[in-house]
Amino acid sequence: MTSTPPLVGRGSELARVVEVLAGRGGAVLVTGDAGVGKSRLVAEASGVVAERGVTVAAGRCVPLSAGLPLLPVMDLLRRLSEVDGGRLWGGLLTGSSEAVRRDLARLVPQAEGGPTPADAIEAGGDWQQARLFDALRQLLSVAGQRDVAMLVEDVHWADQATRDLLEYLLGSADFLPLPIVLTCRT
């Protein structure tokens, strides 16, 4: 039986990430060289806030992300849709317009409460990206009110659409829909 050794010497960094994930921060970027312990730090922080009732929806960018737009976002939305047997997802969609539900179904067609994937497929375009980003902002705004935080790991591998979405979410000093933690190699 193997146990994870305690996290040592990272008390202030851990406290800051916990503060953000618990909703009293906003956003934080955890940077460092490969193997320095960024993922371990955010995993520890996620465990701490989970004990306080916060759901951390996590998505990971991978080297092939460039060919798969919004991969980490689809991953974290899929995870959200599975929390508590889909009840959290259903609650997040409560009150959403049909257009928002349809746009979100493009990213998570397997989730309950949305249209079928065939209903969600439409022609592409810049206006659709703006509409999709706004649908995500609306969903994440509701999620932030329900003790949900967002974690995106390895943003150095993020595709352009994911970077654009993060810029859209983080770009307003007045409004951040939920706590966001990002990890990135230096």
Total of domains in the chain? 1
Residue-number span of the structural domain to which 93 is assigned: 24-185
Strands 27-32 and 55-60: what pairing?
unpaired
DSSP H or E stretch at residue 30: strand 27-32
- pLDDT at residue 2 in the model: 58
Q: What is the CATH number of the domain that holds 160?
A: 3.40.50
**Cross-strand partners of 153:** 60
User: Does a structural domain hold residue 1?
Assistant: no
User: Does a structural domain hold residue 91?
Assistant: yes
User: Does a structural domain hold residue 74?
Assistant: yes
Please count the helices (runs of H) and the strands (runs of E) in the chain: 8, 4
- 5 secondary structure, DSSP code: P
- Rounded to whole angstroms, the Cα distance separating 41 from 59 reads 16
Strands 148-153 and 55-60: what pairing?
parallel
In sequence order, what DSSP letters do the residues of 97-151 get, joined into one string?
-HHHHHHHHTT-TTSTTS--HHHH-----HHHHHHHHHHHHHHHHHHHTTTEEEE
- pLDDT at residue 125 in the model: 62
User: Does a structural domain hold residue 8?
Assistant: no
User: Does a structural domain hold residue 138?
Assistant: yes
- pLDDT at residue 149 in the model: 94
pLDDT digits (tens, 9 = 90+) for 41-65: 999 999 999 999 999 999 999 987 5
pLDDT digits (tens, 9 = 90+) for 99-117: 888 889 888 887 755 444 4
Residues of the chain predicted below pLDDT 70? 1-3, 5-6, 8, 24-25, 65-66, 112-125, 172-174
